[in-house]
Amino acid sequence: MKYNRIYLKNSLFLHFIFTFMTSIQTQDYAIHFNENCYTNLNQQIEKKNYTSIFILTDSNTNKFCATQLLSQIETETRIEVLEIEPGEQLKNLETCASLWNALSELGADRKSLMINLGGGVVTDLGGFVACCYQRGIDFINMPTTLLSIVDASIGGKNGVDLGALKNQIGIIKTPTMVLIDISFLGSLPQRDMRSGLAEMIKHGLINNPKHYKDLQDLSKLTLEDLDRLIFDSILVKKEIVEQDPTEQNLRKTLNFGHTLGHAIESYYLNHPEKALLHGEAIAIGMILESYLSHKILGLDTESLNEIKSLLTKTFGHPKIETSDFENIIELMKHDKKNENGVIKFVFLEKIGNSKINQEASKELIINSFEFYNN
Amino acid sequence: MKYNRIYLKNSLFLHFIFTFMTSIQTQDYAIHFNENCYTNLNQQIEKKNYTSIFILTDSNTNKFCATQLLSQIETETRIEVLEIEPGEQLKNLETCASLWNALSELGADRKSLMINLGGGVVTDLGGFVACCYQRGIDFINMPTTLLSIVDASIGGKNGVDLGALKNQIGIIKTPTMVLIDISFLGSLPQRDMRSGLAEMIKHGLINNPKHYKDLQDLSKLTLEDLDRLIFDSILVKKEIVEQDPTEQNLRKTLNFGHTLGHAIESYYLNHPEKALLHGEAIAIGMILESYLSHKILGLDTESLNEIKSLLTKTFGHPKIETSDFENIIELMKHDKKNENGVIKFVFLEKIGNSKINQEASKELIINSFEFYNN
C-alpha cells in the first residue's frame, strides 16, 4: 500500500483518514485497527478452521484486555488462555519451555492458532514459541502497549533473552496478522505510554523529520492525533523494513539509540532498583548516540541539544554512575550488530538522515555518558 | 536438476555417473559429494568472509571425521570445535541453551558459520541452534551416518525433542549447503549402517518400486552400488519435498512407518535396555503400518509378507511386549501429524504407492503388533 500523508482537517478528509486507518497491508500480512481487527480475526478463525486457539497473555494484560478480546471472538473452537507473569525477566528459554510443555499437554496441534496479547515481551516470546512449536503454528500478535504497537507490529522479529543479552535467541517470521485496538492504551500507565514514544521519536530521527516534528510537543496532542501518529510511525517502519527485509543496510538504521540503549537496559535489568523500561533506556541511548553523531558525523549542535532536551523532558533524566560506564560498554561487546568484535552504531548526519556501520572510540563513548549526565 | 537413471556398467557410463554424483542442486541449496564437498566448502568460506567458524560434533564423530574435515578447510578464520555427548537423550533444549551460551561466550556474531558434523542428532540440533542464534546464522550440514545422509540432507527440518516427544520443537529452514563424504561411512558400525537403510527402503516403498527392488538383496551390494543407491535415495526425497515443501500432502508420505515407529522409538528411549536406533524403530513401524495398509487399503498379502521378511532380515526382529502396546499407542496421541486428536497414518495401496491422512482403530493397531511379533 502506498501511503499519502493527509493533514487537512475538514470532515471529508477526516473520514478518509478514518477509513484509511482500518488496515495497513505489508508484503506478508495485514495490520488491522480497532473494530476492524475483530472482524478480520473472526474471518481468519472461520477460514482456517483451527482445531484450538491459545491466547498468551500476562497477568497485567489479562486484567484489562483479555476480557475484551474473548468477548469479541465468535467461534465454537476451544479457547485456552495461557497467562505468564509480566516483565522482561521472564522473557527467556525457561518460559518458552514451560509454554511448549503446556501446549503439548493441552493437545495443541499444527492446526492450532496462538494469539499473543500483551506488550513486547508477550509478542516477542509468544511469536517465538509459536514459530518453533511442532515446527511452526499460525500466530496473531495483538500488541497492547504503545511500544509494542509501534515497534513489534512490523518486522517479524521474535525471540527471547539469553541471560543479560537481549533477544539473543530468536528467528524472523511474520505473524498471520497483527491486531491493534487503540482503546487498550487507555489502561496503560503513563510511564508505559511515554516509553512507546521513544520508538516513534526514533522513527522520525532516522528517517522522517516531519514525524519527528509532529512529536515535539506532546502536551498539546489529542487522542485523535495519537491515532494518526501511531499510524504514521508504523508506516515509517514498514517502509524501511520492506526495502531491506533481511537487515543488510537500511533496516539497520532502526538500531539508532539501541547499541548503547540495549546495553543500558540489560545492565539495569540486573539492578532492579534502577530498572528502566525499554523506551526509557532507548531514549538515553539516543542522546548518547546523538552526541557521538555530533562528534563523528557532524550532527549540528542545535539538533543535538534539541534532541537531548526533548528526550529528557519526555523520559526523565536518571543519571548514569561513573562506576557503571565500564560495565555498560562491556555488555555492548555482545551486541548482535557487531562484526569481528567491533561495536557498530547507527549515527545521524542530520535529523531524518542516518548512517549505519559507524564506530566510536571508548573515550568518546565515555564522553557521551558525561554529556548525558550534565 | 533432472536426474536420469543410468545403469549400464561400461567404463564411459561409470565415469559419467561419477561426475554426475558430485552435486545435487535443490531449490535453495546444493548437496556436494566426496572431494567436491571440500572444494565447495572452501569457496563458500572465502566468498562469505565469515568472522569465525564453529564446528559442532559429538565425541563419537569427532574421533573419526573432525580431523578429516579440519585438514581440508583452508582459511585463516578462527575455527572452534564444539563437542557434545552423543545420543538422542541430549537432543533437547538444555543442550541448545548450553550451545547458545557457548557461542555467545566465544564471541560468535551474525557473520559466523556453523558446520554441523555428525548424525541426525547433531544436524537436527545444530541446525536449530544456528537458526535461532542472533535470529539466524549460516549453517552447513555434514551428515556422517547413512541415516542422516539419506534423511536429513533434504527437507530443512531442524529441531529437538521435548521430553519423550520427538522433534516437538523446531523450525523448517534449509542449510547453506550439505556436504557428504561417503568415506565417513567406513567408520560407522554395521548396526548404524543398517539403520540408515530403513529410510532408503521407505523411499522405495512410498514412491519408487525400482529403488525398493534395488535394495532387496543387500548382501550382494558393492561399495559403488551403495554410492549410487544413496544418490538415488536422496533424489527420491528431493523430488517429493520440492513438490510439496510445506507438507500439505505428498511430503506427508515420508511419514510412512513413522507414526508407530516414532512412538516405539520414544517409548524405548526411556527403557535403555531395549533402546532402538531410529532406523530400527522405523523398520518395525513400517511392518506394522504395512499390516494396517493390508487391512485398510488392500495392500496384497504377498507384498506384506515380502516387506516383513526383508525388514526383519535386515533389522532383526525384537519382540514388543504385550504390556507395552498401550503405552506406545498412548504416545502416538502427541504425533505432530494428528489433527483434532485423531491419529493420522500413511498407508500403502501397493509398493511404490502411498496414501496420506489414514486412520486405524485401536483394535487393528493391536492386531498389527501381534502380526509383527509372530
Structural contact between residues B347 and B358, judged by C-beta atoms closer than 8 angstroms = yes
Residues of B in contact with A96 (CB under 8 A): 93
A169 and B133: CB-CB below 8 Å?
yes
Q: Is the pLDDT of residue A261 over 80?
A: yes
Q: Is the pLDDT of residue B234 over 90?
A: yes
Residues of B in contact with A93 (CB under 8 A): 93, 96-97
Model confidence at A15, pLDDT cuts 50, 70, 90, reads very low
Tell whether B364 is within 8 A of chain A (Cβ): no
Q: Is the pLDDT of residue A173 over 90?
A: yes
β-bridge pairing A52-58 and A30-33:
unpaired
In which element (H, E) is residue A133 found? Answer: none
Q: How far apart are CA A50 and CA B203, in angstroms?
A: 31
In which element (H, E) is residue B267 found? Answer: helix B258-269
Cell numbers at B70, concatenated = 579440519
Chain A, nearest residue to B165 by Cα:
A104
Q: Over range A141-159, report the average pLDDT.
A: 93
Q: What pLDDT is attached to residue B5?
A: 31
B131 and A172: CB-CB below 8 Å?
no
Spell out the alpha helix ranges (H) of chain A. 11-20, 35-48, 59-61, 67-72, 93-105, 120-132, 146-151, 190-207, 209-214, 223-243, 258-269, 278-297, 301-315, 325-332, 362-373
Q: How far apart are CA B169 and CA A133, in angstroms?
A: 5
Residue B129: name the closest of B165, B90, B164 by CA. B90
Q: Over range A249-273, report the average pLDDT.
A: 92
Q: Which of B112, B169, B246, B339 to mutate to test the interface with A (most CBs of A within 10 A)?
A: B169
From first CA to last CA, the distance across chain A in angstroms is 45
Model confidence at B326, pLDDT cuts 50, 70, 90, reads very high
Chain A, nearest residue to B158 by Cα:
A135
Q: Is the pLDDT of residue A226 over 90?
A: no
Q: What pLDDT is attached to residue B245?
A: 84
B100 and A334: CB-CB below 8 Å?
no
**Using CB atoms, which residue from A104, A111, A169 is nearest to B132?**
A169
Most confident option among A269-278, B122-131, B271-280: B122-131
Q: How far apart are CA A317 and CA A313, in angstroms?
A: 8
**Using CB atoms, which residue from B96, B136, B159 is nearest to A172?**
B136
B109 and A338: CB-CB below 8 Å?
yes
In which element (H, E) is residue B150 found? Answer: helix B146-151
Model confidence at B223, pLDDT cuts 50, 70, 90, reads low
Tell whether B133 is within 8 A of chain A (Cβ): yes
Q: How far apart are CA B229 and CA A317, in angstroms?
A: 69
Q: Is the pLDDT of residue A339 over 80?
A: no
Size of chain B in residues: 374
Q: What pLDDT is attached to residue A152?
A: 87
Residues of B in contact with A334 (CB under 8 A): 104
Cell numbers at B147, concatenated = 541415516
Q: Over range A335-352, report the average pLDDT.
A: 88
Q: What is the CA radius of gyration of chain A?
A: 20
The average confidence (pLDDT) of chain B is 89
B101 and A163: CB-CB below 8 Å?
yes
Model confidence at A78, pLDDT cuts 50, 70, 90, reads very high
**Using CB atoms, which residue from B93, B135, B159 is nearest to A170?**
B135
Structural contact between residues B265 and B318, judged by C-beta atoms closer than 8 angstroms = no
Nearest chain B Cα distance for residue A102, angstroms? 11
Cell numbers at B273, concatenated = 535396555
Residues of B in contact with A333 (CB under 8 A): 107
The average confidence (pLDDT) of chain A is 89
Model confidence at A7, pLDDT cuts 50, 70, 90, reads very low
A132 and B170: CB-CB below 8 Å?
yes
Handedness of CA A139, A145, A147, A150 (dihedral sign): positive
Tell whether B249 is within 8 A of chain A (Cβ): no
CA angle in degrees (0–180, nearest 5) for B31-B34-B36: 70
Helix axes B278-297, B301-315, angle to 10 degrees: 170
Model confidence at A284, pLDDT cuts 50, 70, 90, reads very high
Q: How far apart are CA A52 and CA A50, in angstroms?
A: 5
Residue B54: name the closest of B80, B23, B33, B15 by CA. B80
Amino acid found at B40: N
B134 and A336: CB-CB below 8 Å?
yes
Size of chain A in residues: 374
A109 and B338: CB-CB below 8 Å?
yes
Q: Is the pLDDT of residue A186 over 90?
A: no
Return all residues near A38 (Cβ < 8 A) that are at least 6 apart: A72, A73, A179, A181
Q: How far apart are CA B44 and CA B259, in angstroms?
A: 38
Nearest chain A Cα distance for residue B129, angstroms? 9
Q: What is the pLDDT of residues B287-314, one digit of tens each?
A: 999 999 999 999 999 999 999 999 999 8
Structural contact between residues B144 and B61, judged by C-beta atoms closer than 8 angstroms = yes
B340 and A131: CB-CB below 8 Å?
no
Residue A286: name the closest of A243, A313, A321, A255 by CA. A255
Q: Over range B209-224, report the average pLDDT.
A: 82
**Using CB atoms, which residue from B100, B135, B340 is nearest to A162?**
B100
Q: What pLDDT is attached to residue B169?
A: 97
Nearest chain B Cα distance for residue A236, angstroms? 23
Q: Is the pLDDT of residue A5 over 70?
A: no
- The backbone torsions φ and ψ at residue A30, rounded to the nearest 5 degrees and listed phi first, read -115, 150
Q: How far apart are CA B22 and CA B31, in angstroms?
A: 8
B104 and A334: CB-CB below 8 Å?
yes
**Using CB atoms, which residue from B100, B163, B171 is nearest to A169?**
B100
Q: What is the pLDDT of residues B67-100, one digit of tens each?
A: 999 999 999 999 999 999 998 889 999 999 999 9
DSSP-assigned states of every residue in B276-345: --HHHHHHHHHHHHHHHHHHHH---HHHHHHHHHHHHHHH--PPPPGGGHHHHHHHHTT-TT-BTTB--E
Model confidence at B114, pLDDT cuts 50, 70, 90, reads very high
Q: Where is average pLDDT lowest: B36-40, B213-217, B325-329?
A: B213-217
Q: Which of B101, B105, B111, B135 to mutate to test the interface with A (most CBs of A within 10 A)?
A: B135
User: Residue B233, CB half-sphere, CA atoms under 13 Å: how many?
Assistant: 29
Q: Is the pLDDT of residue A4 over 70?
A: no
- The backbone torsions φ and ψ at residue B31, rounded to the nearest 5 degrees and listed phi first, read -110, 120
Q: What is the pLDDT of residues B170-182, one digit of tens each?
A: 999 999 999 999 8
Q: How far apart are CA B103 and CA B109, in angstroms?
A: 8
Amino acid found at B221: L
Q: What is the CA radius of gyration of chain B?
A: 20
Q: What pLDDT is attached to residue A8?
A: 31
A51 and B165: CB-CB below 8 Å?
no
Chain A, nearest residue to B136 by Cα:
A171
Q: What pLDDT is attached to residue B3?
A: 29
Q: Where is average pLDDT lowest: A321-335, B21-35, B329-343?
A: B329-343
Q: Which has more pLDDT, A182 or A6?
A: A182
Q: Over range A294-313, report the average pLDDT.
A: 97
From first CA to last CA, the distance across chain B in angstroms is 45
Q: Over range A78-102, report the average pLDDT.
A: 95
Residues of B in contact with A157 (CB under 8 A): 135
Q: What pLDDT is attached to residue A223?
A: 66
Q: What pLDDT is attached to residue B11?
A: 36
Nearest chain B Cα distance for residue A365, angstroms? 21
Interface of B with A in 70-109 (CB under 8 A): 93, 96-97, 100-101, 104, 107, 109
Q: What pLDDT is attached to residue A21?
A: 62
A159 and B131: CB-CB below 8 Å?
no
B339 and A51: CB-CB below 8 Å?
yes
A104 and B168: CB-CB below 8 Å?
yes
β-bridge pairing B138-143 and B157-162:
unpaired
Q: Which has more pLDDT, B104 or B337?
A: B104
Residue A148: name the closest of A291, A279, A23, A323 by CA. A279
A101 and B51: CB-CB below 8 Å?
no
DSSP-assigned states of every residue in B33-64: ETHHHHHHHHHHHHHHT-SEEEEEEEHHHIII
Q: What pLDDT is attached to residue B308?
A: 97
- The backbone torsions φ and ψ at residue B179, rounded to the nearest 5 degrees and listed phi first, read -115, 130
Structural contact between residues A211 and A236, judged by C-beta atoms closer than 8 angstroms = yes
B135 and A93: CB-CB below 8 Å?
no
Integer angstrom CA distances of residue A130 from A60, A169, B102: 21, 14, 25
